[in-house]
A and B are shown apart, each in its own frame.
Chain A
Amino acid sequence: MTTVVEQESATAAVPQGANREGLIFEHSKKGRRGYRLPALDVPERSDLLSPSLMRDEIANEVEVSEVDVIRHFTRLSKLNVSIDAGLYPLGSCTMKHNPRLNEELARTPGFALSHPLQADHQVQGNLELLWHIEQTLKEIFGMPRVTLQPVAGAHGELTGILMIHKALAKSGNARKFILIPDSAHGTNPASAAFAGYEVKELKSNSRGTLDLHLLEQHVDEDVAALMITVPNTLGVFETEIRKMAEILHRKGAYLYCDGANLNAFVGIARPGDMGIDLIHSNLHKTFSTPHGGGGPGAGPVGVSERLVPFLPTPTVERRDDGSFYLDDDHPDSIGRMRAFNGNFNVLVRALTYMRSMGPDGLRRIAQIAVLNANYIRARLKGTYHLPYDAPSLHEVVFSDKNQTPHEVHTLDIAKRLMDYGFHPPTIYFPLIVAGALMIEPTESEPKEELDAFCDAMLAIARECEERPELVRSAPHTTPVRRLDEARAARQPVLRWQPRSD
């Protein structure tokens, strides 16, 4: 097991100035250059732009060589931890292995150099690929159509809610409210509000799930939809999901599923079979496209039959002769959600992954992801408080209740994990758990890595009792230690400024 790091020795071991890398602007030196273009081979005209249209030089832009740039970004990269280096157990984020084949194939020149406004007959390969990924997602979701336009989970949510609005408006009443459980991701209420709805929050029960009778009370002619995460943010499956769908459908409302947690049940159960009307899938979660420090992602949305007319345009269609085309002819469509064709090259990566896994592989993802999460749950339960004891699937949510008597809180435990070489879990979410530690290991982790993580968590729990100050002042071994976040927000410095001297 990783040795316990003493605060004193840690600071002593890091010489002043180590792990620091100046801003690229601070590396700039007049006359340095990082590029070369061929000499201009056409006659130069000096009359193209009037002086008012022409800019002065870009003040303070950098002058650096390629060596400077490569060193700079390589040094910056070393200040990050990543899934390639080890377990990254962020709950709700599904930080799984990102196969390099996906990267290689996305760089195939025929994909990478294709242009979004080319005529359909010039991009048959791209259109066929889009068609195939839609077919595959249709089968995974158990739904008749899927739009590939949304480029992130929240973008998918907005797409879905706009479709619900349009469908309801067409039948005479767009309605006012979207119901959302209090355990939901923040994007859910934000997307609902963005689409023009008011949000009503529903309280979770003691299992952390939604009570049918509570739902029944709230669903009336003013409710457009329920947005629910399956399994929910505690990793608990909503056992009564089909009855929920029935309650909503009886009143003409829709069931929207936030598919952030699809990794828990891909290949095991299908949203369409649960009565779900819409689901988005974050391809950067379940289907392994890299998170890239916060994107790009993709958030395709699957829909039930009655929502098909409202899908964003264009859709990808296949003719009888086997050729493909982009189809804008959907009079009831909500319109386009973005210029061009979504995050195409994220879709290439995701389809590569789906093919690498195949039907058995996709099912095995869910099985091992759930096994891994339950293994962590079994090893840490008792030492860490489990506020909701219901059986959980791909993630497990503990709290700091057993540690707070020692005045050690979730934030401290998270920071201390960094000293043991692990990225912390998601913390303080879901909001229904005070001091939440939300752990999602994914199927990518071998048993040894899970054991090392659990050993670290158990060691930290002991430290909380024996040397709480060590935990409270963590991390000690990271490139920087705890930051003054209040200062960052009180006097925001949001860009580099040259010194005035």
Chain B
Amino acid sequence: MPLSSVQASPTRIRLPQWASPAFVVGGLVVLFWLAATLVPSWIAPYDPLSLAGRRLQPPNATYLLGTDALGRDVFSRTIHGAQHSLPIALLVVASAVLIGSAAGAISGYKGGIIGAAIMRLVDITLSFPPILLAMAVAASLGPGLGNAAIAMVVVWWPVYARLMRAQVLEVREREHVEAAVAAGAGHFRILTKHILPLCWTPILVSATMDLGQVILLAASLSFIGLGATPPTPEWGAMISDGATYFYSWWIAFGPGMAILTAVLGFNFIGDGLRDYFDPRSSK
């Protein structure tokens, strides 16, 4: 269906701006996982930590996604897993946005030695593959979701610093900023009232998409044992469990699908937001 294509083309007509099909699907998926985060017991039939039945049962009517090696319900654990992934992702992205935007804004506005120093730090951080740097930081802090979160903020803030700096560099040169200077406004006011409010759009789009990426990174860290510790029903950790029982594919299937849908959902929302904010899309 060409009309629902996410790719931008100048001749495309879309009905309500904000409601592209991908955006709606992404929104529904994310809403589902939000519900799972807030009230998991309304969705999950069993307790995620206690034994629900015989071990290693394949999916059936009672145990929708089967049971794991200890006899716990995989479906219930997957639903409860949202509690460990979504809040962490939100926290990590929020912190990274705050730190990164502040650093990028200062670097872009002030320039000079301070600005250059910040950007070199950003370059250094970004020159490492994210997973390697996150592993190194997480390993040095010790296992646990909290430490994994810190490691992910360390990896992620430079992305926003770059983005924000580019925005500030552009907006800084606009005439209304000069007009504000001519009206006698000081640096702090110019930055916070006349520059930053015009810079948030790409940050918001990028942050939404990164929520999915951070969920993936958190799961990866847990998978290699640097994130959540057993028996926490964290998606990465569960997949790691499942890898041990390779022929009981369903143990990894649940959390795997959870990660897949959550990441896709946030990406779809991010895409939708980008289309919405893009001045080149029809208005």
> Do the two chains bind?
no
Report which B residues bind A (CB closer than 8 A). none
Report which A residues bind B (CB closer than 8 A). none
